[in-house]
Amino acid sequence: MKNIAILGFGTVGAGVADVIAASHNKICREIHDVVNVKYILDLKDFPESKYADRVVHDFDIILNDPEVEIICETMGGTKVAFDYTMRALSAGKSVVTSNKEVVAAYGKLLCDVAREKGVRYLYEASVGGGIPILRTIKTSLAANEIYGIDGILNGTTNYILTHMKDDGTSFAEALSQAQQKGYAELNPKADVDGDDACRKICILAALAFGTMISQSSVNCEGISSVTLDTIEKAEKFGGSIKLIASARKMKGEKIDISVSPCVVSNENPLSNVSDVFNAIMIHAQHLGDVMMYGRGAGKLPTASAVLSDIIEIIKSGKGSEQETWTIADPGTLSDNFKVFDTFCIYVPYSFGARKEKVLSLFGNTTESFEDADGFGFIVENISRNKIRKALHSIDVKDYSVFRYIK
């Protein structure tokens, strides 16, 4: 029998217990053994739950029980979650987690401790909810250099943008629905401000490029400034507004990472990713572009990813070495404002901006549309800094710019 302990009996933790119960036979067939949830650590009791007799409040009970080989950290937050994870790994127990905050902040340290102790620290559920993206990068794409990743990595914001666009739901109402469905973080500011997507793209970049960029050095913009008007403008540009997290290898080993609302062209499959779904498009050396799509948040999808790690640990036994990464040197991250890309620019007529004069500043423009309030156009191969400089040169300071994903 393989005994596990679940730390935190919230949405994901309860999902892990439910998946183990619902798929008991399938899991037994996979591991040729039985998985047993021996303990559930939480501040609360759950007297109505069928697991009520396994609830404990003292982590040391779990730590000191030699029968517990795998600990499943689904607590959220960083302080206590990191402390328990460190203590568990140091005591020779493997840990699996859905906690992207801990992985993004302390992943390198925890992987190193796991490697030293001959155990595993796995975090498939920390990115893309149920989508098996990390294992795919590590195994199926192992022969490819990864050139870049563009992803919709936050289910809550994608849910909000989808419902604002499709049903005219207000931002606040859509967020409240996402909270009720168990998609949002405890503090949904992390979703709305892009921090959650930022953590996930940093984790993806660490695996894809072998180097972890600190989340705090990434330029991260969320969706709080996106209005129904922005969504309509994106449609006029021939696309949809999506919160896109990107990581790209640039010349000279620099890495470009960004999180921002972008206009995704209707021809790009990412534009059809709606509701809580996530999708990750990987630009790989030999394979070319490949996209994985699935539920990016929610109880059972996320628990499915947690279970995949538990099963991997049991199946590989001590025979598999923990992967790790390096921490990027300062200066590895490129300045987003200097990166050349394609941008959608909208200039309102207020303050006297003249279309011909504005367009004459840019070489490669596609004039997309004109409406009662202003005009929009797309420029290729330009940086945000150059756009600002050009427009400021004719005193146009009131404009909006979105990266365009073709």
Of residues 220-259, those binding ligand HSE (CB under 6 A): none
Is the separation of the CB atoms in 296 and 153 below 8 Å?
A: yes
Q: d(Cα 27, Cα 10) in Å, to the nearest integer?
A: 22
| Closer residue to ligand HSE in complex, CB, 14/184 | 184
Q: Smaller CB distance to ligand HSE: residue 123 or 362?
A: 123
Closer Cβ to ligand HSE, 160 or 379, answer by number: 160
Residues 22-51 close enough to bind ligand HSE by CB under 6 A:
none
| Angle 340-343-349 from CA coordinates, rounded to 5° | 135
- In a 10 Å sphere around its CB, with 0-12 CB exposed, 13-18 middle and 19+ buried, how is residue 297 labelled? buried
3-state secondary structure 68-129: EEEEEECCCCCHHHHHHHHHHHHCCCEEEECCHHHHHHHHHHHHHHHHHHCCCEECHHHCCC
Options 165, 200, 242, 299, the catalytic residue: 200
**Per-residue x/- mask for ligand HSE, residues 261 to 280, rule CB under 6 A?**
--------------------
With CB under 6 A as the contact rule, which of the stretches 50-58, 113-121, 154-162, 361-369 interacts with ligand HSE? Answer: 154-162
Residues 295-354 interacting with ligand HSE (rule: CB under 6 A): 296-297
Beta carbons of 406 and 267 less than 8 angstroms apart: yes
Minimum CB distance to ligand HSE smaller for 185 or for 341: 185
Shortest spacing between CB 406 and ligand HSE, in angstroms = 25
Task: Give catalytic status of residue 200 as yes or no.
Answer: yes
**CB 244 to ligand HSE: min, Å:** 14
Please identify which residue in 76, 129, 130, 151 interacts with ligand HSE, judged by CB under 6 A.
Answer: 129
Among 173, 179, 171, 268, smallest CA distance to 229 is for: 171
Which residues in 178-207 contact ligand HSE (CB under 6 A)?
Answer: 183-185, 191, 196
3-state secondary structure of 161: helix
Residues in contact with ligand HSE, counted by CB under 6 A, come to a total of 11
Closest separation in Å from C-beta 153 to ligand HSE? 7
Structure tokens at 344: 């959608």
Residue of 76, 70, 145 lying closest to 114 (CA atoms): 70
Q: Residues in the site for ligand HSE, rule: CB under 6 A?
A: 129, 154-156, 183-185, 191, 196, 296-297
Residues classed as catalytic: 200
